[in-house]
């Protein structure tokens, strides 16, 4: 189901994201095609946006930063991220 904005692999959540750097605040902003749109305040310079992405997702899903991994998209806006055993889920994510 590669066309969905997210999927579960066991207890690991895989998110397909479209990231917008230099936004006014850090927030999820709906769906963009087959990806969740995510706005980040950090600029896309020297990995700052990727670091902010991992921090934001760790806080949102209630896990340590070490449980969040960037799988694809280190240099682009389209990213794929895994979150191992998330403890909190936003309302738009269904449990496994």
pLDDT digits (tens, 9 = 90+) for 6-26: 999 999 999 999 999 999 999
- Whole-structure pTM value: 0.93
Is 89 domain-assigned?
A: no
Is 94 domain-assigned?
A: no
Is 64 domain-assigned?
A: yes
- CA dist 40 to 7, 55, 56, 57, 94, Å? 22, 11, 9, 11, 23
Q: What total number of domains does the chain contain?
A: 1
CATH of residue 23:
3.30.1200.10
Q: Give the structural domain span for 64.
A: 6-84
pLDDT band, very low/low/confident/very high, at 1 (cuts 50, 70, 90): very low
Check residue 2 and give its pLDDT. 57
What ranges in the chain are assigned the alpha helix state H? 48-61
Specify the 3-state DSSP secondary structure of 41: coil
Percent of the chain with pLDDT over 70: 98
More confident position, 2 or 42 = 42
pLDDT, averaged across the chain = 95
Alpha carbons 52 and 44: distance in angstroms, whole number: 10
């Amino acid at each position: 189901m590669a066309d969905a904005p997210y999927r579960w692999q066991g207890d690991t959540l895989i998110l397909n994201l479209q990231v917008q750097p230099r936004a006014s605040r850090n927030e999820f902003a709906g769906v963009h095609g087959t990806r969740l749109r995510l706005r980040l305040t950090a600029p896309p310079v020297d990995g700052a946006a990727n670091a902010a992405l991992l921090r934001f997702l760790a806080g949102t899903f209630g896990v340590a930063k070490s449980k969040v991994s960037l799988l694809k998209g280190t240099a682009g806006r389209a990213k794929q991220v895994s979150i191992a055993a998330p403890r909190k889920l936003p309302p738009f994510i269904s449990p496994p």
